[in-house]
Structures are given as structure tokens and as C-alpha cells.
Amino acid sequence: MTATLSVNLNAIAMLRNRRDLPWPNVISLGRIALAAGASGLTVHPRPDQRHIRFSDLPAIRALIDDEFPQAEFNIEGYPSAEFLELVAENEPEQVTLVPDDPQQSTSDHGWDLEREADFLRPVIQRLKRQDARVSLFVDPHPEAPFAAKALGADRIELYTGPYGGAHDDLRRANDELAKLEMTGAAAAQAQIGVNAGHDLTVANLPPLVRKLPNLLEVSIGHALTADALVHGMSGAVERFMDALKA
């Protein structure tokens, strides 16, 4: 089964927020991405709203409900009280919990699931009562899928930043890919779903897909937005979907 593509809209929103103007229009570009075949849209609403604004969330929810009911809304973030309220109000199909500090420019590490177990377990239970699929952002390690499963999560999202960051070092890229492959195999044993995200590109997706036959979804924003500057949003989505089939 080919993994699906969720387009992360944060980079588009960040560009919009450079001016007090409504363009580039997050909703219009989300519509183009879904029409081109993306299976969903991802956002990461940070407390300072420097990327996606809280006011964007109802509009994205409405876009999916009204025009693309087969698509999914994935909201990711640190499970603060404010974040959990946003989730309750906007009813995403999937919630991806990440251990971000509010000041981080982007996600750069996964959860320490042993240390944070008592914090995460009731959050996961609350989200599942709201009929949300819950994914935990984790560093590649073969113990992570079992720990996530024990906490009640439905999926893990593998942090692929070190793999993407090794774009100019084949040996290091292969080392990072081996870690991801080992974790994916452990996830199959633990019977937990696998997502992946961070610094994934048209070039590095095919090797990842080949090593992770149980990969269900990738969430991609930065590289896809960069590709859209050259190929347009529809063209960029099509390129990434082709890379998922390679």
C-alpha cells in the first residue's frame, strides 16, 4: 500500500505572515493541494501563531468538510491546555503530539516516552474519546513503537530530520536510514502505525519508502513549498506523490 501525503501548510502561512495581507492564501493553496491528490492537510499552531494562526483552523476544517470529505485534517503540537482546546474545537481526524518548546523554530526531537509517560497517557485518552487518531512524534529507536503502543497511541511519527539533514553525505544518510528501518520493523512487531515527517524531499523519499513497507503517511511542508515555487502547488504535490510510489 502506498503511503499517503499530508501537506503541511505552515511554511505557506509563515510567508503570508510577513505582511498584514491575505496572501499567499493558505486555504486556496490547501484546496489546490487536495485537488492535486494530497490525502490531507497538516498544521502546527504554535502559541505565538508565527505560522498557522488559530483563526485558520476553522477555515481548513470547513474546506475539508465541504469540498474534500475524504481528506484528513492533522493538527500537530505540544499538548498544552490551549492546544487541546483548539483540537476540541476543530475536530481533526489525527492529532500528532510533539514535545516542542514554544520557542523552537521547528520540531527537532521526539518524545522521551518513558519520562513523559504519566503526562502523555491521560492526554492520549482524552483525544481518543474525541475520536481522534493519536500519533506520537518519536526519534528512531526500536523501543519507541512499543512504548507508544503501551501509552495507547495509534501511530508513531518518525522524526526524519537527521536523515533529511544528511542530503550531502551519503554514508550518514544510510546510517540514519538504517535507524528508521529498524524502528519501522519494530513498529510492525508492536502493531502500531507508522507516519514520518521532517525534511523529506522528492529525492530522499523513495529510499525511505523502500525501507518502510508499513509506512502509512508522510507530512511534508518545507520542501514541498519550496518545490511549489518552481512547479506550482499542483506540480509539487504530484512530484511528491510520484516519489511515494518509487
Distance separating alpha carbons of residues 13 and 16, to the nearest angstrom: 5
Which of 221, 215, 159, 220 is CA-nearest to residue 192? 215
In this structure, the dihedral spanned by the alpha carbons of residues 179, 184, 188 and 191, taken in order and rounded to 10 degrees, is 110
Distance separating alpha carbons of residues 91 and 72, to the nearest angstrom: 10
For the four alpha carbons of 60, 62, 64 and 68, in that order, the dihedral sign comes to: negative
The single-letter code of the amino acid at 231 is H
Asked if 214 and 194 count as a contact pair (C-beta separation under 8 A), the reply is yes
Active site residues: 44, 76, 198
Q: Grid cell 481526524 — which residue? A: 93
Judge if the upstream peptide bond of residue 24 is cis by omega within 30 degrees of 0: yes
